[in-house]
Amino acid sequence: MLNYVPLFCRLFIGIVFALSAASKIREFEEFVRATRSLLEAALPRLRLGRRGLRAVASTVLAAETAICPFVVVSPWWPLGLAASSLLLTLFTAAIAFALRRGVRAPCRCFGGSATPLGKRHLFRNAALLTATVAGLALPYEPESDPAGLAVVIMAAAVAAMVTSRLDDIVGLFATPTTR
């Protein structure tokens, strides 16, 4: 059973990055604006023009897109998990800097959510980082049981969907604010 955990981690991270990249493609201009807010919070002295911001946003998008197949189907998947861990660490640091400076920009990690950055985004990233570490640390031997593989694939897909829609799920159960 433990042998399925590294595969789950790889698939989970790959699907999360695929969903994230797809949402950024759909809402690219929103993502560029969110990138500006995060960069200004993390590196207040850095001044990038429109081109520079688009280049940073495009680089993030390219990295997320490259990680997906690298983690899931590449024989060098440990390198893919290490790269995803590095990218997640950078994202987490940017969110932490933004929160520390009081920036309440919307999190555009998975598209058009208007939910401002908050501690839940740090916890989400901590869970994703935990998955990358577990995927790297646990021994992996390929499984050939079709039923077990199907369960792992479905579990990773469901976990990735919940992760990508976390803001919406929390919003469903949040207490409405009075005006």
pLDDT score recorded for residue 75: 86
Asked if residue 20 is part of any domain, the answer here is yes
If one counts the domains in the chain, the total is: 1
Q: What is the pTM of this model?
A: 0.89
pLDDT score recorded for residue 132: 96
pLDDT score recorded for residue 112: 65
Question: What secondary structure does DSSP assign to 2-32, as a single string?
Answer: TTHHHHHHHHHHHHHHHHHHHHHHHTHHHHH
Burial of 68: CB neighbours in 10 Å, binned 0-12, 13-18, 19+: buried
Average confidence (pLDDT) per 10 residues, the chain, 179 residues: 85 95 90 83 80 92 93 89 95 88 79 80 95 92 83 96 89 69
Do 168 and 19 touch, CB atoms closer than 8 A? no
Query: In which domain, by residue range, is 151 found?
Result: 4-173
Burial of 140: CB neighbours in 10 Å, binned 0-12, 13-18, 19+: middle
pLDDT score recorded for residue 1: 56
Asked if residue 154 is part of any domain, the answer here is yes
Asked if residue 179 is part of any domain, the answer here is no
**CA geometry: angle 128, 133, 137, nearest 5 deg:** 150
Asked if residue 18 is part of any domain, the answer here is yes
| Tokens 């390198």 found at | 79
Asked if residue 178 is part of any domain, the answer here is no
SS3 label, residue 173: helix
pLDDT score recorded for residue 39: 81
Asked if residue 130 is part of any domain, the answer here is yes
Query: What type of residue sits at position 130?
Result: T
As a whole number of angstroms, the distance between CA 41 and CA 101 comes to: 6
| pLDDT tens digits along 101-119 | 888 777 777 766 778 888 9
As a whole number of angstroms, the distance between CA 48 and CA 18 comes to: 27
